[in-house]
């Protein structure tokens, strides 16, 4: 399917959806602490999205080909869980790291973003992994401009992760987004400069590197959704939805509580 270039009106709708997704992550931040269950975090986010924002949680009952419907409104991936962790009875403990991934639908458009959170004080290794993963996402974002290639994004992310002794998960990637949750193009978090699609203004997609402290190998749990590291090493992920603008890149998933770019 060809990559969709969004109109000015569609981009305005994407800005609204992106901001709302980011505001869910702002809302849940002070509620991530030791003793809270991932199911409680899901319920709080669901109530905020539906009751306060008037948005639809895109993950709830989402069922791409080959998958059973996803049963919750957000994804909560803890410690060695890479992505798509299903909220439930798990209680966060002091030192846990957790990725919360939120996608909302507003007026037919999707906003998709995720952040890392600490339950209490993390280990030195965990904090370093989270920080480097955040830097990886931004290395990719800073490659986005008209005329650049998708491979430039992946090459920059891969180089930064491996420079710090970490590995890049290859089975999952960023994706185009708009009226549909997942559109073309696929945005790999590894690759070669100058390779792949040439970017042009109006394209919207996510950049969401998953970086492991150990090896890159992963496996799927029996629930059919949760992905974990094979070697049980920690994993981290950050995600923004971006727009290729006329002059470079615009972050669509910004809010008052969005962390600042790394220096």
Q: What are the structural domains, with CATH classification, of the chain? A: 8-251 (3.90.230.10)
The tokens describing 41, both together, are 């975090």
Q: What is the pLDDT of residues 97-115, one digit of tens each?
A: 999 999 999 999 999 999 9
pLDDT (0 to 100) of residue 174 = 98
pLDDT in tens, 17-36: 999 999 999 999 999 999 99
Question: Which pLDDT value is given to residue 263?
Answer: 86
The mean predicted confidence, pLDDT, of the chain is 98
DSSP characters over 161-217? HHHTT-EE--S--EEE-SSSSSEEEEE-SS--TT-SPBP-TT-EEEE--EEESS-S-
* Distance (Å, whole) CA 31 – CA 116: 13
Look at residue 78 in the predicted model and tell me its pLDDT. Answer: 98
pLDDT at 1 over 70: no
Could you give the angle at the alpha carbon of 85 between the alpha carbons of 126 and 262, nearest 5°? 40
For residues 199 and 149, the answer to whether their CB atoms sit within 8 Å is: yes
d(CA 86, CA 52) in angstroms, rounded, equals: 23
pLDDT at 60 exceeding the cut of 70: yes
**Residue 41 scores a pLDDT above 90:** yes
């Amino acid at each position: 399917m060809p990559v969709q270039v969004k109109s000015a009106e569609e981009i305005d709708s994407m800005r609204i959806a992106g901001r709302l997704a980011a505001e869910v992550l702002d809302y849940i931040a002070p509620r991530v602490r030791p003793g809270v269950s991932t199911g409680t975090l899901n319920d709080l986010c669901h109530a905020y999205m539906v009751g306060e924002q008037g948005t639809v949680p895109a993950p709830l009952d989402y069922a791409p080909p080959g998958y059973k419907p996803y049963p919750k409104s957000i994804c909560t991936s803890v410690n060695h869980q890479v992505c798509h962790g299903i909220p439930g009875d798990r209680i966060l403990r002091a030192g846990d790291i957790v990725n919360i991934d939120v996608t909302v639908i507003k007026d037919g458009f999707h906003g998709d973003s995720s952040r890392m959170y600490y339950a209490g004080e993390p280990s030195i290794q965990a904090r370093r992994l989270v920080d480097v993963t955040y830097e990886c996402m931004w290395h990719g974002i800073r490659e986005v401009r008209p005329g650049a290639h998708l491979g430039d994004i992946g090459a920059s992310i891969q180089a930064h992760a491996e420079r710090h002794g970490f590995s890049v998960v290859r089975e999952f990637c960023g994706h185009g987004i708009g009226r549909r949750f997942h559109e073309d193009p696929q945005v790999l978090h590894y690759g070669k400069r100058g390779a792949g699609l040439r970017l042009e203004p109006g394209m919207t997609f996510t950049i969401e590197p998953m970086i492991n402290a150990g090896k890159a190998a992963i496996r799927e749990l029996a629930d059919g959704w949760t992905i974990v590291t094979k070697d049980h090493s920690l994993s981290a992920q950050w995600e923004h939805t971006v727009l290729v603008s006329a002059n470079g890149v615009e972050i669509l998933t910004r809010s008052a509580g969005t962390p600042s770019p790394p220096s």
